[in-house]
Amino acid sequence: MSASTPDQRGNGQGDKKMGETSAAPSWLNEKDGEEWAWAANYLMSRSSAQLRSKISILADTDFKRLTRAIDALESEAEGVKLIERLRNAIRQRRYRLSKGGKKTCSFTLPRETKATLKSLAKKYGTSETMLIQRLIDAEAQQAQKQKRQEELTAKIMHNAQKLAQELSQVRIEETEKRLLHCLKQLARWEIFLKEELSSLPPEEEAAAAEAAEKQMKSIREAVNASVAYRELMSPRSMSYNES
């Protein structure tokens, strides 16, 4: 029978027995998943090859595995020093977070995404937390910019519609004035003559018809323009054009 390796002992039955007799460190907050995941990564990145064999590769996702690893590390002098440095680092981290007005949060990422995040943070010379913060801030700024643009577009469309309606109303009023003027002129002639108008000579009749048609054409154009503007700027027409 082959002997178990140190890593197998740390992840197998021996690990389980150790977990049954060891308690979680009082200085490590189990409810703060980000903190103890950070602590697990701290131990893995700063321990020697010999000590690393005592730390489960799942310690950053399983709090019990992390506490068993800490208990195993404290059985050696080198491990005791490493744990002491970890405790100091955690105190400093908590202090920095509290001074910066930050709040810890815990979330789970796929392994591929976590690896990509780590690679990008290294590429840009920053921490994974800072990189996430930058990405979120950039997305929030973009969303705010888009919101302002949408509000501005809606305001412009509203003002354009209102202006078109006002112009249409002006054309209607002008048309009414011209009609009223023509009717007044006709009424004046009727009152002045007090009788039906006599027939005009053919050449004068043609001139009168031409003048009347010219006035009527101008009125029709004004009415059609007003109707067209109202149709164009109606809510139904606006929604159809946008689609």
- The percent of residues above 90 in pLDDT, for the chain, comes to 11
- Residue 4: CB partners within 8 Å, gap ≥ 6? 12, 14
The residue-averaged pLDDT of 82-106 equals: 81
At 188, list the tokens: 């004046």
Residue 206 token pair: 């043609």
pLDDT of residue 57: 83
Residue 198: pLDDT band with limits 50, 70, 90? low
pLDDT in the model for residue 18: 40
Q: Say yes or no to pLDDT of 12 above 50.
A: no
Confidence of residue 224 (pLDDT cuts 50, 70, 90): confident
Burial pattern 186-223, b for ≥16 Cβ within 10 A else e, equals: eeeeeeeeeeeeeeeeeeeeeeeeeeeeeeeeebeebe
What is the rounded average pLDDT of the residues 109-127? 87
DSSP label at residue 234: S
Residue 17 to residue 215: CA distance in whole angstroms? 106
CA-CA distance, 161 to 242, in Å (whole number)? 14
One-letter identity of residue 202: P
Q: Among 38-52, 105-119, 227-241, whose mean pLDDT is lowest?
A: 227-241
pLDDT(213) > 90: no
Instruction: Locate all alpha helices (DSSP H) within the chain, ordered by sequence.
Output: 6-11, 13-21, 33-46, 49-52, 63-73, 77-99, 111-123, 128-193, 202-232, 235-242
Predicted local confidence at residue 112, as pLDDT: 92
pLDDT in tens, 160-173: 888 877 877 777 77
